[in-house]
Amino acid sequence: MARAWTLKSRPAGMPEDDNFALIDVPSAPLGAGQVRVANRWLSVDPYMRGRMNDVKSYVPPFALGEPMQGGAIGEVVESNSPDLPVGAKVQHMLGWREEAVLDAAEAQQLPPLGVEDQAYLGQLGMPGMTAYFGLLEVASAKPGDVVFVSAAAGAVGSTVVQIAKAKGMTVIGAAGGADKCAWVKELGADHVVDYKAGPVARGLMQAAPEGIDVYFDNVGGDHLDAALLAARLHARFAICGMIDIYNDGKPQELRYLAKVIGARINIRGFIVSDFIARAGEFYRDMATMLKEGKLQRHETVHDGIESMPAAFRGLFTGGNTGKMLVRL
């Protein structure tokens, strides 16, 4: 019998232990074309906080009392599908649990890129694809641009920093604390703004006195406001997350919003699933950058399924550098 996390009650603010329940799930028999996967790595991501609210969004809310979902990497241990034999390493979306039974079509075999399995939950998975298409497609970033990245020490932001440098851009990253800022600098960022050391707007204007062409937003709040202040004519903003408001839903205070008009700023929100049909393009380009030594990654790892709620909360308290993962 395997275990899975369920949402016992909907959180108000930061999720607490009482909002979750770890339950035993009876082992289900396989149907035709299905596989049983023993999960080895589980992903926790900020977007999951929105699914804990009973509101209409681009993905349905988590159902109370039912196993939650999220990215996972595992090994096929039983198969009724010729496409995924026993022993195959796969990625799928039935995370928050030790074992998953699903149709083979709902699991993707890991591409042979010569990296550790868990990389496909981070830099070579949804966060990396978010970074890649958000920067290059949504924000139309090009060589020579000055790019500002919030949450630059996170899974998405750190990948944006490296892709931007690999493509010939000047990069300014924002991170919290000396250690994270030092790591963002190691990734190749030309300047780093420590948001814990002073106002983001002041730090950004010091780093980019002539302004920015592109802003990649993971945070919202004062980071978005600072980007508006620093935006050059026809700047492009890619908005993929606003972790600043996920728990309390407070209204955004944007003092420089009117800059959108005079600077003709293009602000566009997006979701990574908008680009899933172009995954092959992403893997090909990222594989080239890997071979050229232009990509590195860092992971913050919690061990054991029991640690899932704590790992998830850590996303909102600065508890991760790079991708947050749970190892089973």
Q: Return the pLDDT at 61.
A: 96
Q: Where are the domains of the chain?
A: 2-122+297-327, 126-273
State the pLDDT at residue 253. Answer: 85
- Return the H-helix or E-strand segment holding 203: helix 200-207
Q: pLDDT by residue for the chain (328 residues), tens digit each?
A: 899 999 999 999 999 999 999 999 999 899 999 999 999 999 999 999 999 999 888 889 999 999 999 999 999 999 999 999 999 999 999 999 999 999 999 999 999 888 999 999 999 999 999 999 999 999 999 999 999 999 999 999 999 999 999 999 999 999 999 999 999 999 999 999 999 999 999 999 999 999 999 999 999 999 999 999 999 999 999 999 998 877 876 787 899 999 999 999 999 999 999 999 999 999 999 999 999 999 999 999 999 999 999 999 999 999 999 999 999 9
Q: C-alpha angle 305/306/312, rounded to 5°? A: 85
Q: Which residues, listed in sequence order, are joined to residue 89 by a DSSP beta bridge? A: 75
**Per-position DSSP letters for 238-286, written without gaps between them:** EE---GGGTTT-PPP--TTTTHHHHTT-EEEE--GGGGGGGHHHHHHHH
Q: What is the pLDDT of residue 293?
A: 93
pLDDT value of residue 66: 96
Q: What architecture does CATH give domain 2-122+297-327?
A: Alpha-Beta Complex (3.90)
How far, in Å, are 14, 220, 245, 246 from residue 250 at the CA level? 13, 11, 6, 9
Cβ atoms 1, 45 nearer than 8 A: no
Closest CA to 111 of 100, 99, 98, 125: 125
State pLDDT tens for residues 11-55: 999 999 999 999 999 998 999 999 999 999 999 999 999 999 998
Q: What is the pLDDT of residue 133?
A: 98
The fold of 126-273 is Rossmann fold (3.40.50)
